[in-house]
A and B are shown apart, each in its own frame.
Chain A
């Protein structure tokens, strides 16, 4: 079609046939151009809006993720507190919490060779079997078995971990590699339990071997559902090829992070009988993972990054396994004298009382006996420094009701914080968190935290990483200085999710490599790995695991990710309902239920501190009145609690929603026999402690009534999974299904 004749019976010509410009039906060039301009502008605007949506969706996910990591500090201080004030919650059996959190005594001490050998493997077990020394057929077997969703028997898992621990003990803190042995070294970033991504990497790039050496840069576990499989495969290859397979520790190779972010739960679910032992060994193995890898004395690979204080020589000299968790300073040795200071007594828990997110050294631990619970002195001084007092842990995210004191600007990184003791309400009096560790221990800990938690920033300088609550933001000058000092030319790190799986910054000095695709949501990002040959020029390879065979369009992906992010945000709003309402009050004296858009945005940012474009997001979060003001109660319309129990007041519902994850963790720990049930007494007690620690004013009577109502079959025990399900926030649209 489209020949240039002008016979009148032909259909009228199309615009581009200028030979027919004389025909009245053909639009003039001017009109054509005008139409083209309109269409081009309109379409580009649509694409620009889509891009904006994609960006703020990303911001939402990232903000909530980092805020959650910060919240972890909250929980860990509670554990410290529990640990220091009583050991048994159940009255029988070894101190479970100590075992999980901070083993003073290695339970396997003196039983080194026989722990796993005692475990029988049933004839009927059809999963993979391994023996030592490992061979390629064992690792192949493992990979294939995990592909088929089989679980490695506890006996083999324990043996694997035990062998890994032995191997790692012989390794230095900083491992050196060379490109002269193989063509290229492959560096991978965070996997976070994404087995599919790991298998995809192996498929594209080859299994680990002498010809295909790998460095995995931390964060193998948490968040994804197959953390166990991922990490066992990595350890198996480590044992098989100790010279060609290198693992760096990440900030999630940390038993306290694991408590919150899913690895602990996953192990407990997959290993009902031996879960605790396995977790104990994981804890040891994680703390024995090397901190850094250096290639050809030119490329430094660490999980997070550096700070202006980072001293690699010092780091190489410390006993890395002493730093079990970034979230707690290593315990002081028990021989050190107790620092005694008087503690104060009040009349019971005060809401919003002295608790602050920022951890502070306190006075002597309270040693009062109460309700049959007693502090078991494992010898000498009981004042262990289980609280983290370094200013490396800082918080800008303290909600207004929990911290009457505003956060002052963080002190310089090397000076430990020292204010008067943190008094925490405990039943009917107060207890204090113990005094700080000596300087050397603290320095070691801070150096480790910096390397595992820091993020690069575009501006020069080094500032505390308030977003994450640990480590620093380091600028190009900091990177330059460190690289130059050691004669390095490149820093490869991970720790941050990137849209394309990788990102280059600091003028090419820093590469971020992230290997978990679809991290936030299906379609949210690609994964990548980087290869370095003898030229040490990075080559990037990207991929994305896809659940569907049909490829989603950009619009569909953006929309899916956006709606997921918005739900997460709506849940956040719901779980901070009372603080938000308190915040709106000064702007709405007459209680009309309306405030201006600016005021609304201001309050949201002040309470949630997520640094998000609230005005742009407003249409998804709240309704407008005809006069343009925001009907702020509509923020909470989207969500509601799962069950309706009369004892659940809005205040209680909100608190339970907000701390649901934390409560789940605590219950999981208390429930020693994994029955899913805890006693009413345990429930009450734990709840009271937890709310006392938070400084949340909740009526004891309300908790009691709640506990009794949850005990559906009146046998004195609570199915806490059911209980928690009741408080899982449900999107109102879901409920209709």
Chain B
């Protein structure tokens, strides 16, 4: 019965009557939003090749290992089958998946059904542009052999399923700084190992 449910909600949250007038009331809440009622976030990012191979996965909502495999399997089936002239949105299991194909790769983001689709679509493009700049005309091979770089870059763009930086320049600068940190450390390591090697000769 409707009434009971409402009362239960009211009783459990201290700001009781905030239910009234919230936007969630307007568009209807998705019961299956299993993580947070009010989270309008990217639940995961998925890169799959045309052959259905996974090139990157990043989960911002807690999916178990089993769920992850299931999601990938189901979603590749849905997205790879879509025609080139179709729209970039797929309604899928109570969520929406915004995707875009670049050459042989499909970039997918799973969002809530009432989130802003086009905005997320351009986050994908933003990500691709940054990688393009970093690798110099990025291709699938770059992402295969340097998959860890893709993760570094993604971490500078998204946190908690939200956009953290929309300036390409800033992201590029941070990634370069990280790279040089790693390199310096390695040079040091190798010079130390040379010293040790020489000393123990």
**Are A and B bound to each other?**
no
